Amino acid sequence: MPMLKDPSKKYRKFKPLDLPNRQWPSKTNDKPPRWLATDLRDGNQSLVDPMDGAQKLRYFKMLVEIGYKEIEVSFPSASQTDFDFTRMLAEDQRDGGKLIPGIEDVYLQVLTPCREELIKRTVESLRGCKRGILHMYLATSECFRRIVFGMSEEQSIELAVKCTKYARSITKESDDAEIRSTHWQYEFSPETFSDTSPEFAVRICEAVKGAWEPSEENPIIFNLPATVEMSTPNVYADQIEYFCTNMTERKKFCVSLHPHNDRGCAVAASELAQMAGAERVEGTLFGNGERTGNVDLVTLALNLYTQGIHPGVDFSDINSIIKVVEESNKIPINERWPYGGNLVVCAFSGSHQDAIKKGFQTRKTEGSKPEDPWVMPYLPLDPQDIGRTYEAVIRVNSQSGKGGVAWIIQNSLGLDLPRGLQVSFSKIVQKEADAKGRELLPREIAGLFEDAYHLKRNPRFTLIDYNISAVRAETKQDKTSVGQPPQAQDTTTTKSTAPVQNTSSNKRQFAGVIAIDGAQHPLIGVGTGAISSLANALHSLGIDLDVADYKEHALASGKDVKAATYIECMVSGNPHEKVWGVGIHEDVVQASLIALLSAASGFLTSRVSTPKPFRPKHMRDFSASEIQALEQLNVGSGGQSPFRDSMSPGAGGGLNGSPLSARADRVDISKLEHDAWKEEESRNGS
């Protein structure tokens, strides 16, 4: 049968209460209710394979650790397993919690139908416990009375009263001193309350109250279940308010809720019904229970928490709780489930990631402490408060943008990427995610980054050794900018070794040996700092890169601090072609040089026309002073440079040297370098 064209005959609209003076809409929930966890009863009875004793014990211990003080542990008359489990708890409580620390002040609740032999066995199961709640239920709706029991309203009241009196006689008024020693509470559930006439619910509960004779010190619990959720949550709230205001002796009863989730509104129904006067809520962790489940106690508690109200239960380690719940119920928690779902503290989409990343950045900049006000785009709860990690907050797939990718790199490698590099690298990630058609894991993204910017190994360029020295001023030929090789060095040796003036300048000379695609090359270059002098040296190989952006920051702290340097290079003559390089090293200058070589490697690799391996077409000759500078480098053995012959004026370059030991010069001129680069940049008007 397809869906009916007109369902109005088959399904009747729920008739709401006429409650014109309802008060609850202007109330708020300002404190936590009394919680009752019914995972081991209502939750358990709905499982394909109910829990055995050991599983129940593990679960019970967890509930105690979370902080629940009222726990429905079983339906003792249903099975020997349930009976024995309840006995074990009762005895442990009597013995002071040797097995289960913290059990002493927990109320052990047990459920029974209105049948005397079952009530008797149920009470027996709790013999000797310190605190017990005997919970009896009887369905009261017209539907159930007519279809299930064949009972009128009066007959239902009669049965409920009879069984309550019986329960009283074998609990708080028992002849048996051990039974009497228990602090008994009594709970009555007019089952199917949500579909019961409000007047009849009040009538039967008044009768039960009369039969039990509660006191203000030990009130009776009226648990008003939405056994089946029948209407919108506001109607349930009306039903609860009606009950609270029409019952007598309000202080002698506690109003408890037991919402199911048939319409998907159990949480909302609970919250509105608390506004309407209920003081207690029964539910389960993550909403396991009959059909669509019971109301989820985790959501209710954390909803309160995010309003600044401590719920009195502790979900600091929600992941461990999820593990126990999933293993015990053998039902996975939906990935989108509030607070607990795997995906609820994750963002894949670019704009969400960007906003979250900025939110965390703002907290960092403002120096916020964990307890400071939480104002965070897209995240209503600080994941850290429930033991979830920030790393998991942002995940990357083809829907992600630069912000999320940068977040992953920051968290996995500690690198704070400049915006331009974020844009550039996120294209690489996007392409990979699209090609793979799935999420990329943080370690995959970190790996992509390390490969793209040669953090582990630069396959093309290796800085073998170098020296940065101040250049004496200054022939007019020295007036070069980054990207333009100084003429003096380019042409003859004499000019460079015979400066016109003899004053010092802020120019720097890079003299070094670099291996390119396995072949080692002596290089000389001059610039305003270390980076520009190396850029200048690379020009002589035909690698025409101009530095366009530069950023550095410290990585880690203390003794192990390293510098991370990011350099964006423009390809000379083509302002649209840019390439990024990254360098990490203990020495800040060396980090910069490595970053530039990383960019150079990216540049070479992007050149499809460049044959591999790269060999410079022409190496310029060196002047005598340049040769002297190169000879001071720590290459070769016995102080003899392997390049001596080939470096001689007129000999040309392009050498294949022997393997050489790397040496880092500890010349900390980073500030100078940065300032010089900035100056140069502003001179160029860029």
Ligand X SMILES: CC(=O)SCCNC(=O)CCNC(=O)[C@H](O)C(C)(C)COP(=O)(O)OP(=O)(O)OC[C@H]1O[C@@H](n2cnc3c(N)ncnc32)[C@H](O)[C@@H]1OP(=O)(O)O
Give contact residues for ligand KIV (rule: CB under 6 A). 42, 111, 137, 189, 191, 223, 225, 227, 258, 260
Tokens of 354: 């960007």
Rounded CA-CA distance 504/472 in Å is 5
Is 191 one of the binding residues for ligand X (CB under 6 A)?
yes
Tokens of 553: 């920051």
Please count the other Cβ atoms lying within 10 Å of the Cβ belonging to residue 648.
13
| Residue number, 125 or 496, with CB nearest to ligand X | 125
Contact pick of 29, 34, 45, 348 for ligand X (by CB under 6 A):
45
CB of 163 to ligand KIV, least distance (A): 14
CB of 217 to ligand X, least distance (A): 28
Rounded CA-CA distance 147/149 in Å is 6
> What are the two backbone dihedrals, phi and then psi, of residue 612, each rounded to the nearest 5 degrees?
-105, 145
| Residue number, 200 or 305, with CB nearest to ligand KIV | 200
Is 315 one of the binding residues for ligand X (CB under 6 A)?
no
Is 114 one of the binding residues for ligand X (CB under 6 A)?
yes
Is 284 one of the binding residues for ligand X (CB under 6 A)?
no
Rounded CA-CA distance 488/505 in Å is 15
Footprint of ligand X on 221-260 (CB under 6 A): 227
Which of ligand KIV, ligand X, none does residue 122 bind (CB under 5 to 8 Å by kind)? none
CB of 4 to ligand KIV, least distance (A): 28
| Residue number, 186 or 510, with CB nearest to ligand KIV | 186
- CA–CA distances in Å: residue 304 to residues 66, 309, 379: 16, 5, 15
Return the range that interacts with ligand X (CB under 6 A); candidates 70-78, 514-522, 586-594, 624-632: 70-78
Which of ligand KIV, ligand X, none does residue 78 bind (CB under 5 to 8 Å by kind)? ligand X
CB of 139 to ligand X, least distance (A): 6
Contact pick of 55, 77, 353, 625 for ligand X (by CB under 6 A):
77
Is 78 one of the binding residues for ligand X (CB under 6 A)?
yes
Contact between 186 and 167 (Cβ < 8 Å):
yes
Rounded to 5 degrees, what angle do the CA atoms 382, 385, 386 make? Answer: 110
Which of ligand KIV, ligand X, none does residue 243 bind (CB under 5 to 8 Å by kind)? none
Contact between 85 and 50 (Cβ < 8 Å):
no
CB of 293 to ligand KIV, least distance (A): 11
CB of 290 to ligand X, least distance (A): 6
Return the range that interacts with ligand X (CB under 6 A); candidates 89-97, 107-115, 122-130, 560-568: 107-115
Which of ligand X, ligand KIV, none does residue 114 bind (CB under 5 to 8 Å by kind)? ligand X
Coil, strand or helix at 112: strand
Return the range that interacts with ligand X (CB under 6 A); candidates 61-69, 108-116, 300-308, 569-577: 108-116
> What are the two backbone dihedrals, phi and then psi, of residue 534, each rounded to the nearest 5 degrees?
-70, -40
Contact pick of 75, 83, 166, 200 for ligand X (by CB under 6 A):
75
Rounded CA-CA distance 203/420 in Å is 73
| Residue number, 77 or 592, with CB nearest to ligand X | 77
| Residue number, 80 or 609, with CB nearest to ligand X | 80
Which of 175, 190, 192, 254 is CA-nearest to residue 218? 254
| Residue number, 122 or 458, with CB nearest to ligand X | 122
Question: Which residue is listed with tokens 């442990």?
Answer: 92
Footprint of ligand X on 118-147 (CB under 6 A): 137-138
Is 261 one of the binding residues for ligand X (CB under 6 A)?
no
Buried b (16+ CB within 10 A) or exposed e, 581-618: bbbbbebbbbbbbbbbbbbbbbbbbeeeeeeeebbbee
CB of 233 to ligand KIV, least distance (A): 17
CB of 82 to ligand X, least distance (A): 8
- CA–CA distances in Å: residue 360 to residues 307, 338, 387, 394, 590: 20, 21, 17, 12, 32
| Residue number, 260 or 388, with CB nearest to ligand KIV | 260
Q: What is the DSSP letter of 40?
A: I
> Judging by beta carbons within 10 Å of its beta carbon (0-12, 13-18, 19+), is residue 429 exposed, middle or buried?
buried
Is 36 one of the binding residues for ligand X (CB under 6 A)?
no
| Residue number, 87 or 258, with CB nearest to ligand X | 258
| Residue number, 111 or 205, with CB nearest to ligand KIV | 111
List helix spans (H) across 126-171.
Answer: 142-144, 153-169
Which of ligand X, ligand KIV, none does residue 185 bind (CB under 5 to 8 Å by kind)? none
Which of 203, 212, 270 is CA-nearest to residue 242? 203
| Residue number, 149 or 348, with CB nearest to ligand X | 149
Tokens of 396: 């990357």
Identify each DSSP E strand in 154-310 by its residue range.
183-191, 220-226, 253-259, 280-283
Residues near ligand X, by CB under 6 A: 42, 45, 75, 77-78, 113-115, 137-138, 148-149, 191, 227, 290
